[in-house]
Structure 1
Amino acid sequence: MRERLPVFAAALWWGGLSAIGFVAVPLLFAHLPTPAMAGNMAARLFEAQTYISIACCALLLVISKKKHGEHQEPWAQAAIVFVIAGLLLALLVQYGVAPRIIARQNLRLWHGAGSAMYLLQWLCALRVLWCTTHR
């Protein structure tokens, strides 16, 4: 079970980011009556995804060390920097960028920054998934 846990956490992280960012949110904007309604629902989905990202990254950090050992698991040696970067990006988007988008401050700048950070987090999660499945 312990050897499969990193794959599960990485898959949940990457899959959640993919489903929310590339499927659910575009569908909201395509099918809800107003952009404001879609934006409000999208903000809630992104917030939920942030909590999933935090949980998955925290779990990956905890299980990155061998049990009763000082050395990292083989998958973690290549992935740990991407776990930390992805966690930081999730926190930055949720607590730094999202409030500015909701407040409609310089919307084009903050939406672009948030989208870029979300994509970078997605790439981090993909790299971690790759590292956990290719030992």
Structure 2
Amino acid sequence: MPAHRLNGVQRVLLALWVGGMWAIGYLAAPVLFASLDSRMQAGAIAGILFSRLAWFGLVSGVVILGLQWRAGAAGLTRVALWCVGLMLIITAVGQFGIQPIMAGLKAQVAPGAQMSGAVRADFGMWHGISSSLFLVCSLLGVVALWRTTPAR
């Protein structure tokens, strides 16, 4: 496959990944929490969306970097690649590090019961860390998109 086509695939995957982050994180999730009566139900649905997005991002990030290796200098800019690499790391930390901790905290609460005490505080802390990393990742995605092609 010619280098310009590889670069096109890279840019499309990056656009879908970043667009998904902004659509789910800043549109769908807030609508779920504002529209549904149950915060538990909204959180469960949002969790599924974020998990699917994370897997899409992990696959996309690996493919983008693999195509870069194949395309060489004809691929993405150095800045865009650094952003993609950082996004991949942040996504992996969230999916394989933070999300299992949060799932474990949720599992400590009886079905239908509200979180309280130390479990609620711990969950809030991890949710805040996860949200902060998601913000950083989504901003890195914007920078990566902005810098996908060199200035002329």
- TM-score, scaled to structure 1: 0.87
The aligned counterpart of 2:10 is 6
Show the 5 A alignment for 1:1-135. Answer: 1-67=5-71, 71-73=72-74, 75-102=76-103, 103-104=105-106, 105=119, 106-135=122-151
**Is the CA contact (8 Å cut-off) linking 1:57 and 1:87 kept in structure 2?**
yes
Segment drifting more, 116-125 vs 75-84: 75-84
**Is the CA contact (8 Å cut-off) linking 1:66 and 1:72 kept in structure 2?**
no
- Which runs of 5 or more structure 1 residues have no equivalent in the other structure? none
**Percent pairwise identity:** 27
Secondary structure of the residue aligned to 2:73 is: coil
Distance 1:96 1:3, change over 3 A: closer
> 1:33, 1:134 → 2: CA distance?
48
> 1:16, 1:63 → 2: CA distance?
21
Paired positions, count: 132
Query: CA RMSD of the aligned region, Å?
Result: 1.7
**Is the CA contact (8 Å cut-off) linking 1:64 and 1:76 kept in structure 2?**
no
Q: Shift of residue 96 of structure 1?
A: 1.5
Q: Shift of residue 112 of structure 1?
A: 0.8
Q: Shift of residue 23 of structure 1?
A: 0.6
**Is the CA contact (8 Å cut-off) linking 2:33 and 2:42 kept in structure 1?**
yes
- Which runs of 5 or more structure 2 residues have no equivalent in the other structure? 107-118
> 2:67, 2:144 → 1: CA distance?
13
Segment drifting more, 92-101 vs 37-46: 92-101
**Is the CA contact (8 Å cut-off) linking 2:80 and 2:147 kept in structure 1?**
yes
